[in-house]
Chains A and B, each alone.
Chain A
Amino acid sequence: MSFINVENISKTFKVAQRKSGLKATLKSFFKRKYFYIEAVKNISFQIEKGDIVGYIGPNGAGKSTTIKMLSGILLPDQGKIEINNMIPALDRQKYVANIGVVFGQRSQLWWDLPALDSFDLLKNIYKLKDDQYQKTIQELIGLLELDNIVQIPVRQLSLGQRMRCEIAASLIHNPSILFLDEPTIGLDATSKQIVRNFIKRINKERKTTIILTTHDMNDIEALAKRIILIGKGQVLYDGTIKHLKQKYGNYCNVIVTTKNILKTTNKKGIISKEKITDGYIFKIDINQITVSEFLKYLATKVKVDDVEINNESIDDLIIKLYKEFEI
């Protein structure tokens, strides 16, 4: 039995239909039509204790619905979730004492007060002992570089500072599972780095199981060995990020500025070529040709003035997966 067991869970929502125009509006005033959205369809996976898993997918894929079910806010319509031998939504009070959740878009801190006040309240909510609380809080403040920050009213903090406080707040009670919903959204590079290092460290030291949702590919590559990719409510892929890239192509966009005209390119690994005003955009498969090989090859054909290299985003990968699964 794994630490986290998710078996065939599904969830459907009922949504009211809206149409435009006076007539349609008047009509729906008297009779309203509904349709159903299957947010999550038959998802299963297991996660072991101490793992870091990236739970990723495009907007509306069913990510936050799954997180809500895993954290005990929602009960699945069908299927079963068992975490640490508890059923989250049914054993709520007992279960949540052992998890921490950070919603990037939603704050659990008191806006007008220093974060330290919020921490004190959380201490009472989680019924923590004084000495243990003091020890944890000092450790968190040190690791997240929050020394002076926790004394300032939250509304005066920068986004990065606030997010670090949010993360500290979710770890005060030493949870064994941490859910991070877009923890780096909108952060500057320094804050991102602090957050990532911190996540790695607590995972290593405390064996905290971490489930991370994000749109930032770099988060995933820095943190998660395993990803679960979902789209339209279904699991599209479950495995390592490396394997995913090998399997579905590790593409890279190379934007080349050149005044020359390039007629033909027939080298293995070049997927596509597109002409733009002052050059070309190439899509190449890194599994077949490295960037430097490609550039060397290109230099034999044209005079390259400038190059820009962009890694393919996870969203592009998902679009490819959609095509493959025909959904």
Chain B
Amino acid sequence: MSSYLSLFKIKFINNLQYRSAALAGILTQIFFGLVFIMVYIAFYTSNDNQGPIALSQLVTYLWLNQIFFTLVFIFQSEEQLLTMIRNGNIAYELCRPMNFYFKWFVTLYASRIAKVALRFLPVILLALILPSPYNLSLPYGIKEFIVFLLALLLSSLLATALSIIYHLLVFYLLDERGILTLLGVVGEIFSGLTIPIAFFPEFLKTIAYLLPFHYICDLPFRIYSGNISLSVALPNLIGGLIWLILFGLLGYMISKKMLKKAVIQGG
């Protein structure tokens, strides 16, 4: 266990070095946040009919999207792992005294945490003090906030589990870029990152709620603003947990299979 902790720590520290990347990230998040919010506000204020979510909840959702983007965005690629998988050197990983799957889970998770740790404070502070209607609202209530944190934990773990599978697929695909971009976009849309699921046409909405991706953005961010009541949120959390276990197992099994094959192929 302690080896995983120190792995987490070293990856975390390593990511802290990228100072200018973090500053740039903060600026980007603020800018994109403002642009998206202004687009929605423009739509809301020029029509008599109200949108599917109250404006203040929507703006809060959009800010949270930007703030936690690096934590929950599914398809962040880790070049080191990808290269290793591409050139077959992955077999050497068997020589290490750590389980391959958990090692990379911890590594990928650490870099997510480090990225968000460096960026979230300035953006949150700014978003909170902006004048209405541009501002991030406070959580709906204490209880909602706690459940939100739980949901965020779940969502980041789920995103990591999915991203490992995405990395592993590279092993089986000759030219992975095209297909993986496509998968990435599907995941992005159905997690509610591109546009909140509430704005989807009805049939897409149904599909979105059948797929596992909505636990990633849609669920936590709506809990925060009180757009979903806790009585609905809690069973949803359990649903998300089941998906997490499923994808964890799936990734674990693929990694076992892949390593076996990599050893036979001889790298």
Hey, which bits of chain A sit against chain B, CB under 8 A?
A: 18, 21-22, 25-26, 28-29, 32
CB of B16 within 8 A of CB of A21, answer no
Structural contact, A26 and B16, CB atoms closer than 8 A: yes
How far does the alpha carbon of A150 sit from the alpha carbon of B22 in the complex, in Å? 47
* 8 A Cβ contacts from B1-50 to A: 9, 12-13, 16-17, 19, 22
Question: B19 touching A32 by the CB < 8 A rule?
Answer: yes
**B110 to chain A: closest CB distance in Å?**
13
Main secondary structure of the interface of B (DSSP, over half): helix
Report the nearest A residue to B118, measured CB to CB: A29
- A22 touching B19, Cβ below 8 Å: no
Whole-angstrom distance between the Cβ of B111 and the nearest chain A Cβ: 14
B169 CB to nearest chain A CB (Å): 26
Asked if A29 and B13 sit within 8 Å, CB to CB, the answer is no
Q: Which residues of B contact A (CB under 8 A)?
A: 9, 12-13, 16-17, 19, 22, 118
Compute how far the CA of A26 lies from the CA of B17 in the bound complex, rounded to whole angstroms: 8
* Residue of A18, A21, A22, A32 with most partner-chain B CB within 10 A: A22
How distant is B238 from chain A, measured CB to nearest CB, in Å?
Answer: 36
Q: What residues of chain B lie closer than 8 Å to A18, measured between beta carbons?
A: 17
Chain A nearest CB, measured from B64 CB (Å)? 25
Kindly provide the distance from the CB of B116 to the nearest chain A CB, expressed in whole angstroms.
15
Complex Cα–Cα for A188 and B134 (A): 67
B17 contacts A25, C-beta separation under 8 Å: yes
Q: Once bound together, how far apart are the Cα atoms of A18 and B19, in whole Å?
A: 12
**Sampled A-B contacts (6; CB under 8 Å):** A25-B17, A26-B16, A28-B17, A28-B19, A29-B16, A29-B118
User: How far, in Å, is A197 (CB) from chain B's closest CB?
Assistant: 37
- Complex CA gap A32/B9 in Å reads 22
Pair A22/B9 contact, Cβ less than 8 Å: yes
Q: Distance in Å from the Cβ of A34 to the closest Cβ of chain B?
A: 14
Residues of B within 8 A of A26 (CB): 16
- How many angstroms from the CA of A95 to the CA of B12 in the assembled complex? 49
- B19–A29 contact, CB under 8 A? yes
Q: Which of B9, B17, B22, B118 has the most CB of A within 10 A?
A: B17
CB distance from A17 to the nearest CB of B (A): 12
Other contacts beyond A18-B17, A22-B9, A29-B118: 12, CB < 8 A? A21-B13, A22-B16, A25-B13, A25-B16, A25-B17, A26-B16, A28-B17, A28-B19, A29-B16, A29-B17, A29-B22, A32-B19
**Could you tell me the distance between the alpha carbons of A25 and B19 in the complex, rounded to whole angstroms?**
10
Nearest CB of chain A from residue B172's CB, rounded to whole Å: 24
Which residue of chain B has the shortest Cβ distance to A21 in the bound complex? B13
| Shortest distance from the beta carbon of B261 to any chain A beta carbon, whole Å | 27
Complex Cα distance, B13 from A252, in Å, reads 49
Chain B contacts for A32, CB-based, 8 A? 19
Contacts of A21 in B (CB 8 A): 13
Give bound CA distance, A52 to B12, whole Å: 52
* Nearest CB in chain B: distance from A218 CB, A: 34
CB distance from B25 to the nearest CB of A (A): 13
Q: In the complex, what's the smallest C-beta–C-beta distance from B16 to chain A, in angstroms?
A: 5
Instruction: Tell me the minimal C-beta distance from A294 to chain B in angstroms.
Output: 47
